[in-house]
Amino acid sequence: MVCLGNICRSPLAHGILRQKVKDKQLNWVIESAGTGDWHIGEAPDRRAIAVAKKYGVDISAQRARHFNPAFFQEYDYIFVMDRQNFADVCAQAENQEDLNKVRLFLNDDIVPDPYFDDQLFDPVFQMINQRCEEVIAELSLA
């Protein structure tokens, strides 16, 4: 799961998907990272921690990582939250196989960045939560 800072959107997607995968006893590895390096090593934004906690997901132990091209080897799918993330991740791909791993998390839409708008955390949680269910259903068939 990749966004810009790895402190708001991708930690939510990471924590929500990890919890659902665990509940379904799937043996999937879920991680997250940011295309920007400003927040490396930091916990998620307190507003992201709070909205996740409100819905029973604990993301407080996560620490922000910087997206690294080595992730193309480590992961089967790279889900990005918006089109800038998509461009930034694709720019680090070495080949078509790498590019094929990159997907907009919402398919045809973006997860809006809630960093500068407190009101967005709840709807962002909801849209990520719903999409995580679909991702599990889709990838379980893959």
Q: What residues make contact with ligand 4NP under the rule CB under 6 A?
A: 3-9, 34, 38, 113, 115
**Residues 138/107, Cβ–Cβ less than 8 Å:** no
- 113 as an active site residue: the answer is yes
In whole angstroms, the minimum distance from the beta carbon of 134 to ligand 4NP comes to 20
In the complex, least distance from residue 5 CB atom to ligand 4NP, rounded to whole angstroms = 3
Q: In sequence order, which residues have a C-beta less than 8 Å from that of residue 137 and are 6 or more positions away?
A: none
Question: Cβ-closest residue to ligand 4NP?
Answer: 5
Q: Find the catalytic residue in 18, 113, 131, 132.
A: 113
Q: Which of 3, 45, 47, 131 is catalytic?
A: 3
One-character DSSP codes across 108-125: TB-----TT-GGGHHHHH
Q: Which is nearer to ligand 4NP, 97 or 117 (CB)?
A: 117
Torsion angle (degrees, nearest 10) of CA 101, 105, 107, 109: -140
